[in-house]
Chain A
């Protein structure tokens, strides 16, 4: 077999982490078309985009941390989003900031500052990512409630209107698309390759000349950018400030990350996989809401999400146990499992 003939197969082998989220996406879309066809109307798609966008962007944010490894699970994302939400809705008006550009800039700056602080602790003190982000989760979860004991405030009009959107031909789509383009550009850079190398094996990265501390902090800067954008979308979704509503994004984003095929050991995670994983999470809730499960509906959503997570881990474990070459030689999905 010539190298030219092998190239497409090798490419597909390298995308095997997308197999599970793509299959799940296909299944969920088919069920939606059957049982909830309104999803494919303008209203339905607008609801899907504004509903899923905060989770998609938050998952992209923690994907960088997962790539930077080791065990790079960012537990802080929910309370960080909540904190930025409070800044947007209650903080920025105090200094007269409400224009779209300045709100995005401010949200990104706050996200970056928080993540730089976390990255510095992790890189300089060599403390586990999970421990530092858990600590930040707890600190911010409490702080958010102290700053804002009860929900309130109103997002700027241009942002609050996103929550009632009826068309996807609006910023609720443009912003996530622009963010994904930004993600693609970042992942094509040498710097991101260094992050990937560091996540796969930091000793190898070090002896290869990668400056570990700046690289890790840089990974957190990227995460802060995406979490900041996610917070703006989230503020549009709820149209106000809420001290607790965002906390649920931590578990959802980590679940989406895993379903999307990321390796929590570090070095391997795809932005596209995370995006599809996040859409899968949203669709699981959507599909199950089309069935009248009554007051048990939410428990079925959580049961289904947990079952899918286990299945994704199982499938991911099988597929990631093989190198691309092994995977190709075993005949891809049709071949025997190790």
Chain B
């Protein structure tokens, strides 16, 4: 039994209560993830193919089937990330501790990235510095310019970093730089969505699974029929594509729901609003629901309000503003799922990186974690007083419950608390 199952009473998101809720409140995490385990087993046996373009990167035989069953369930729909054995299973750093860490971020201009960066600078770095495990973090940022991020990654290697953590601007384009890091004995960790390189250790939420659960909840709220619109993030970003695939998979379980279009909200509310307005101007037919990616929910709501359309259910993903709207409009949606709390995503990548530097030996190339459900009754605890529709901070469940130590242990051959090494 996972640690989170024993701590649910304290969990801000009260997962257990949601799982125990009557069917009309949405599918339980355990049930849905149980189905995921079946799919994952099938995937492990090679029954589910991977897209041809990723064949080279994911050609290693999947080792998901060797992981504990409670962890296997997090791998449903995980087709675009390497699932073979980790190349860092027997990794030994060139020197240290303390280790010098590079953080190559692809973008810094939204609240998600700021939340991740804040956890890194204000929580993780001081704690691990005090433990004598980390000497410094060198940060670069490429503003989504891929050649620049390649240059920065190589530069971090050349500057003597022992490990590099990145949020990649592209799924495949960084592979040469990642290989360069590996050949120079530098551990490379990718968080928040995948890169296809077998030389990376990936740690992230399973966004496709989160999207699917959100899509199912949306389809149910729509009554299983009507027109649905999809608001993407950045279309070429792997995380965005994964969410969209999940949304489509969830909605397709309702044959009478028709997906009538997809627009690129680029994870920016103002852009999402503009794109949805453009769509509504040219599509007079009624919509019954919109599958959104956060950030982008509030912009979509504003577009509906501005055009006088009916406010239809969306799929908010953890940003406080849309959850505040739900707090004030209880019937808007019944259930949603959070897939990527920024601080926790940063911390899970950081912890996996430190464990690998300590020689704990990751078992698989990609460490995934499933989404957490949010029910209406959770909102009072999740949203601080004074949260408005304009609040763009993110709900952060306690890390020990989002990614319990027991779950992290399951991913490593020689697991131990990284701070007690």
Contacts and interface: CB of A to CB of B under 8 A. Distances in A.
Given A150-B241, A238-B146, A289 B236 contact: no
Contact of B150 (A51, A153, A292, A298): A51
Interface string A149-166: 111111000001111111
A248 B154 contact: no
A295 B173 contact: no
A292 B138 contact: yes
Size class of the A contact interface (CB-based, 8 Å): 35 or more
A289 B56 contact: no
Contacts of A285: 148, 151-152
A interface, over-half SS: helix
Nearest to B158: A38
B100 to A, nearest CB: 11
Contacts of B150: 51, 163, 237-238
B111 interface: no
Chain B residues touching A, range = 35 or more
A298 B151 contact: no
Given A238-B172, A294-B139, A301 B57 contact: no
A243 B234 CA distance: 12
A118 to B, nearest CB: 24
A239 B173 contact: yes
Nearest to B137: A292
Given A240-B172, A295-B105, A286 B151 contact: yes
Contacts of A242: 146, 170, 172-173, 236
Interface stretch (B37-45, B177-185, B331-339): B177-185
Counting chain A CB atoms within 10 Å of each CB, which of B142, B155, B170, B171 scores highest?
B155
A316 interface: no
Contacts of B147: 51, 54-55, 234, 237-238, 245, 248-249
Contacts of B173: 151, 238-240, 242, 245
Contacts of B180: 47, 163-166
B143 interface: yes
B176 interface: yes
Contacts of A245: 146-147, 169-170, 173
A99 interface: no
Interface string B113-127: 110010000000000
Contacts of A44: 158
Interface string B139-173: 11111011110111011011100000000011111
Nearest to A148: B53
Contacts of A165: 180
Interface in A275-329: 282, 285-286, 289-290, 292-299, 301-302
A153 B57 CA distance: 9
B176 to A, nearest CB: 2
A299 B144 CA distance: 11
A239 B139 contact: no
Contacts of B34: none
Contacts of A239: 172-173, 175-176
A240 B114 CA distance: 30
A128 interface: no
Contacts of B184: 43, 166
Contact of B155 (A36, A145, A296): A36
B51 interface: yes
14 contacts: A38-B155, A43-B157, A43-B158, A43-B184, A51-B154, A145-B236, A150-B236, A242-B146, A242-B170, A245-B170, A285-B151, A286-B155, A294-B139, A299-B141
Interface of A: 36, 38-39, 41, 43-44, 47, 51, 54-55, 90, 145, 149-154, 160-166, 234, 236-245, 248-249, 282, 285-286, 289-290, 292-299, 301-302
10 tightest A-B contacts by CB?
Answer: A163-B176, A152-B53, A295-B108, A240-B172, A298-B143, A238-B173, A245-B146, A164-B179, A38-B158, A47-B154
